[in-house]
Structure 1
Amino acid sequence: MLDLHTHVVPAATPFLAELSTSDSRWARLHRGPETGDVVVAGKVFRTIRRVAWDLDHRRETALAAGCAGQLLSAMPELLAPWAPPGQGLAFARAFNDWLASELPSHGGFFTGLGVVPLADPDAAAALLGEIADAGLSGVELPATPPIAPLHTPAWSGFLDEAERLGLLLFVHAVGGPAAAHYPHPMAANGVLFPLSTGAAVGGLITTGALARRPGLRVLASHGGGSLITELPRIDFLRETTPELRELMPEPATASARRLWYDPLLFDTGLLRHLVATVGADRVVLGTDYPFMPVDPVAFLADPTLPDGLADAVRRTNPAALLAALGRTLKGAEPR
Structure 2
Amino acid sequence: MLDLHTHVVPAGIPFAASLAADDPRWARLERGTTTGDVLVAGKVFRTVPRVAWDLHHRRESVEAEGGTGQLLSAMPELLASWAPARQGLDFARAFNDWLADELPGHDGFFTGLGVVPLADPEAAAAELGQIAAAGLSGVELPANPPTAPLHAPEWSGFLDEAERLGLLVFLHAVGSPAAQWFPQPMAANGVLFPNSIGEGVAGLIATGALARRPRLRILASHGGGSLPAQLARLDFLRDITPPLQELMPEPATVSARRVWFDPLLFDTGLLSHLVTTVGADRIVLGTDYPFMPVDPVAVLDDPALPAGLADAVRHTNPGALIATLRSHVQQRS
Measured against the shorter chain, the TM-score band is over 0.9
Deviation at 1:326, TM superposition (A): 2.3
Quote the residue 2:94 is aligned against: 94
Task: List aligned pairs for 1:117-156, cutoff 5 A.
Answer: 117-156=117-156
Residue 12 (structure 1) aligns with:
12
Aligned counterpart, 1:184: 184
Deviations along 1:124-160, one digit per CA (max 9) or x if unpaired, are: 0000000001010100000111100000000000000
Rounded Cα–Cα distance in structure 2 between residues aligned with 1:212 and 1:144: 20
In structure 2, distance between residues paired with 1:324 and 1:183: 43
State the distance in 2 between where 1:130 and 1:12 align: 21
Q: State the Cα RMSD in Å.
A: 0.9
Q: Please list, as runs of the form range in 1=range in 2, the aligned pairs for 1:29-108 lying within 5 A after superposition.
A: 29-108=29-108
Q: Which residue of 2 aligns with 1:205?
A: 205
CA contact (8 A) 1:137 1:327 kept: no
- Does the Cα contact within 8 Å between 1:144 and 1:176 map onto a contact in 2? no
Gaps of 5+ in 2: 329-333
Amino acid in structure 2 at the alignment position of 1:59: R
Q: Deviations over 1:45-103 (max 9, x none)?
A: 10000010000000000000000000000000000000000000000000000000000
Scaled by the length of structure 2, what TM-score is found?
0.98
Please tell me the residue identity of whatever aligns with 2:227.
L
2:331 alignment counterpart: none
Q: Residue 325 of structure 1 aligns to a residue in which SS? A: helix
The separation in 2 between residues aligned to 1:110 and 1:322, in whole angstroms, is 10
In structure 2, the CA distance between the partners of 1:65 and 1:327, relative to structure 1 (3 Å rule), is farther
Give the counterpart letter for 1:73 in structure 2.
S
SS across alignment from 1:197: helix
Identity %: 77
Deviation at 1:296, TM superposition (A): 0.2
Task: Report the AA paired with residue 123 of structure 1.
Answer: A
The Cα shift of 1:181 comes to 1.3
Distance in structure 1 (CA, Å) of the matches to 2:144 and 2:327? 28
Instruction: Extract unaligned runs of 5+ from structure 1.
Output: 329-335
Q: Higher relative contact order by CA 8 Å / sep ≥ 6: 1 or 2?
A: 1
Query: May I ask how many residue pairs the two structures share in their alignment?
Result: 328
Give the TM-score of the pair, scaled to structure 1: 0.97
User: 2:71 is matched by which residue type in structure 1?
Assistant: L
Contact 1:14 1:26 in 2 (8 A): yes
Instruction: After superposing the two structures, state which structure 1 stretch, 110-119 or 39-48, moved more.
Output: 39-48
Distance 2:267 2:273 in 1: 10
Residue aligned with 1:292, SS: coil
Distance in 2, matches of 1:135 and 1:179, equals 36
Q: CA deviation at 1:327?
A: 5.3
Q: Are 1:174 and 2:194 an aligned pair?
A: no
Runs of 4+ off more than 4 Å: none
